[in-house]
Amino acid sequence: MISFLEKVGAGLLISAWLIWGGHFFGDLLVAPRTAGAEKIVFAAPAAAPAASAPAAAPQDFKVLLVAATPEAGAKVFRKCVACHAAEKGAKHKVGPGLWDVVGKMPGKAEGFSYSGAMAKVGKEWTYDTLDTFLKSPKDYAPGNKMTFIGLPDAAERAAAIAYLRTLSDSPKPLP
């Protein structure tokens, strides 16, 4: 069986040949290139694997939030829909409806019976507090009853929050 890495390797080899070949025959037809142009050609295939590797460096939350799209967040939100409704005026499920949650105090959705832990958090849901909460719900509000492990991936959290932001008639400005 051909492994993924072998396929990637073969793909790179082929693209390197195509680039090199095109360059070579191009040179036959037009003026000769400088040494500098050669370097650029060989740098291209070498840079390709980096694009498919996951970004390792931790990133600033605001940068991630501004870059995040609500569409990506809607996909992340599939992890939440078993317990949370997103539509205006929707019935609460196991968890409270999340319409207009950004900018609210925790534990304030009408008609939902929160745990004491959630009700006494006492800090408004901002982009930052949502980020901290969603990273590890049980650490943010110990004893709360959201039995969800959290979103360890910072970019996923930022996307989820970018989506939560849109659940409003007048979404709050981005930071």
Q: Does position 23 bind ligand HEC by CB under 6 A?
A: no
- What binding mask, one character per residue, do residues 33-72 give for ligand HEC by CB under 6 A, x or -? ----------------------------------------
Distance in Å, CB of 141 to ligand HEC, minimum:
7
Would you state the structure tokens that stand for residue 44, as one six-digit string?
Answer: 């291209």
**Dihedral over alpha carbons 35, 40, 45, 46 (to 10 degrees):** 90
Q: Does position 74 bind ligand HEC by CB under 6 A?
A: no
Distance in Å, CB of 100 to ligand HEC, minimum:
10
Q: How far is CA 128 from CA 4, 22, 92, 166, 175, in A?
A: 38, 50, 24, 16, 10
**Dihedral over alpha carbons 119, 120, 124, 126 (to 10 degrees):** -80
Distance in Å, CB of 35 to ligand HEC, minimum:
53
Angle at 71 between CA 133 and CA 135, to 5 degrees: 15
Single out the residue of 134, 79, 145 nearest to residue 102, CA to CA.
134
Single residue of 68, 99, 107, 158 touching ligand HEC by CB under 6 A: 107
Would you state the structure tokens that stand for residue 100, as one six-digit string?
Answer: 């207009």
Stretch binding ligand HEC (CB under 6 A), from 3-11, 51-59, 60-68, 111-119: 111-119
Would you state the structure tokens that stand for residue 16, as one six-digit string?
Answer: 């390197």
Place of tokens 């078993």: 82
Identity of the residue, 45 or 84, whose beta carbon is nearer to ligand HEC in the bound complex: 84
Q: Does position 73 bind ligand HEC by CB under 6 A?
A: no
Binding site for ligand HEC (CB under 6 A): 79-80, 82-84, 94-96, 98, 101, 106-109, 114-115, 117-118, 134, 144-148, 151, 160
